[in-house]
Amino acid sequence: SAFFTGPEELKDSAHSAALLAQLKSFYDAKLLCDVTIEVVTPGSGPGTGRLFPCNRNVLAAACPYFKSMFTGGMYESQQASVTMHDVDAESFEVLVDYCYTGRVALSEANVERLYAASDMLQLEYVREACASFIARRLDLTNCTAILKFADAFDHHKLRSQAQSFIADNFKQLSQMGSNREETLADLTLAQLLAVLRLDSLDIESERTVCHVAVQWLEAGPEERGPSAAEVFKCVRWMHFTEKDRHYLEGLLTKPIMKKHCLDVIEGALQMRYEKPPQRMGMCAKEMVIFFGHPRDPFLCCDPYSGDLYTLPSPLISLVHTGTVTSSAVCISPDHDIYLAAQPRKDLWVYKPAQNSWQQLADRLLCRAGLNVAYIDGYVYVLGGRDPVTGVKLKEVECYSVQRNQWVLVEPLPHSFISFDLVVIRSYLYAVNSSRVFCYDPSHNTWLKCNSLKRRNFQDACAFNDEMYCVCDIPVVKVYNPFRGEWRQIRNIPLVSGTNNYRVINHGQKLLLITSYTPQWRKNQVTVYEYNTREDQWIHIGARFGLLQFDSHFFCVSARVFPSCLE
């Protein structure tokens, strides 16, 4: 046929990997090396450093820095030995190994030095891998140091991530003293101003911003005092009220305030400034989030005021492919929302302050009927069936938020279908109508607990360090994990036709949320609050047509920012 003429072109798919492996074996054996790199400790002279016999062509092909050195007509291109002073030997060894293998091993001990070395050698992949590694380890004890590190190397993304973390945790950081290695008081003037000007600071009162400003000035009054007026311009004084008058009057007694910005505080007392926008945290609100059909956005509702907002869904674009039928959700203490698709392997996290979903590493197994839970920086996925074979799964997947990686941990003693996961004091409880097992992450073990012993199971949640379960309607039973005992409380209200029962911990209140579809087919969602003292379910309110898309919803409670939502 005229379509099949000429020579056949074939490609050996294993060739590139085999070639790279052979070059690495030459490097390890010091064979065919045509240049020696001497890495000298700063301050030491030539001949005192560590020697690395290498291949010019490999270094030049893998590293732009060496490509310029060896092919750009530089003096070093003709030399058998090259001396380097601005990198440490341990980091250079890792980076040379990367040039030969494409692999790099990062740790908290070496990552900052590797970043600096890869930045100098223009190894973009390693540099960005280091930045990602550092960003995933942002916490209260290192965020200011990481911001300073990002500034030193002018890494815009890492700087933005550090600023966002500081903004999200500004209240906690303002209360942490000098026992930390780095505090907000250690920031430079430019870094502090950039943070204090953020609209996204998660604070309830502008006092917190003022407190941090004073802390920073008092950490170095002589050199920082002249910058006081510029720092206090970042404080949005019009958000202070009459309740803050005593606090403001107290500021007038501070020596640094008397010397540098007396007029600013006196002006604040007279409330003479134009009203600036509120900080994001001042608008934060704990809301019930309803998850229904994957094709629809999620619904945020304040059960007391009736305020409604919609939350974007990452599942909508996947529904049309027919590969997503449902989802499961858990919340971290920081109110990040983790969403697992079913039966796919996808996992997303929603950051309320950014109002955006980020797709994380794929799970290890496809599941249908799974559930998820968050404990101390880890997301656990368990239960359900294999969507192809229907086999019940005992495997337990564990995701590290810090590492963005999955591993399998101790499997369940029994498979779980139609169940819930409840977290109480860093222990994970898997519960259904006939079994309760407790997982201890610190020992990677499952322990059998007293079971519910009921025919049906509806939903469960943690409240006041106990597990509340809605089981045989209208029965509610409570498990105390410290005594290993169950007790029964007041039955939930019965309404004919109700087809969904959910219990959630909402702002330290236990809510029961039910739905049913009357004859006119606009489902009604009803909310009850449990009064622990009176052992009563109190009717809070009802909404018709709230969830027209799916009455078989599930819901969680999370702190969100209505100003970001629709």
- In DSSP notation, 312-333 reads --TTHHHHTTT---EEEEEE-T
Which burial class, exposed, middle or buried, applies to 207 when counting CB atoms under 10 A from its CB (0-12, 13-18, 19+)? Answer: middle
Does 257 share its domain with 369?
no
Q: What is the pLDDT of residues 398-456, one digit of tens each?
A: 999 999 999 999 999 999 998 999 999 999 999 999 999 999 999 999 999 999 888 89
Provide the pLDDT for residue 536: 96
pLDDT at 1: 61
The CATH number that applies at residue 171 is 1.25.40.420
Is residue 157 located within the same domain as residue 118?
A: no
**Residues 291 and 227 grouped into a single domain:** no
Domain membership flag for residue 9 = no
Backbone angles phi, psi at 212, to 5 degrees: -65, -40
Task: Assess contact for 329 and 554: CB atoms under 8 A.
Answer: yes
**7 falls within a domain:** no
Give yes or no: residues 298 and 375 share one domain: yes
pLDDT recorded at residue 486: 96
Give me the pLDDT at residue 248, please.
80
Rounded to whole angstroms, the Cα distance separating 26 from 103 reads 17
For 558, other C-beta atoms within 10 Å of its C-beta total 23
Q: Which of residues 264, 280, 296 is at a domain's end?
A: 280
Q: What is the edge-to-edge ordering of all strands in the sheet holding 498-506? A: 498-506, 509-516, 524-531, 536-544
**Is residue 258 domain-shared with residue 323, that is, in the same domain?**
no
> Same domain for 267 and 296?
no
Which residues make Cβ contacts (< 8 Å) with residue 26, sequence separation at least 6? 32, 33, 55
End-of-domain residue from the set 253, 280, 307: 280
Element (H or E) spanning 485, and its range? Answer: strand 485-489
Do residues 49 and 72 share a domain?
yes
pLDDT, residue 106, reads: 96
Do residues 435 and 289 both lie within one domain?
yes
Q: Which domain holds residue 318?
A: 284-564
Q: Which residues of the chain have pLDDT under 50?
A: 272-273, 549
**C-alpha distance across the termini of the chain, in Å:** 61
Q: Looking at the structure, do residues 39 and 77 belong to the same domain, yes or no? A: yes
- At which of 222, 253, 280 does a domain end? 280
Residue 8 lies in a domain: no
**Structurally, how many domains does the chain consist of?**
3
Q: Are residues 275 and 289 located together in one domain of the fold?
A: no
Output DSSP code: residue 75. G
CATH number at residue 27: 3.30.710.10
Do 150 and 79 share a domain, yes or no? no
Considering the domain boundaries, does residue 1 fall inside one?
no
Task: Tell me how far apart the alpha carbons of residues 460 and 453 are, in angstroms, rounded to a whole number.
Answer: 15
CATH number of the domain within which 354 lies: 2.120.10.80
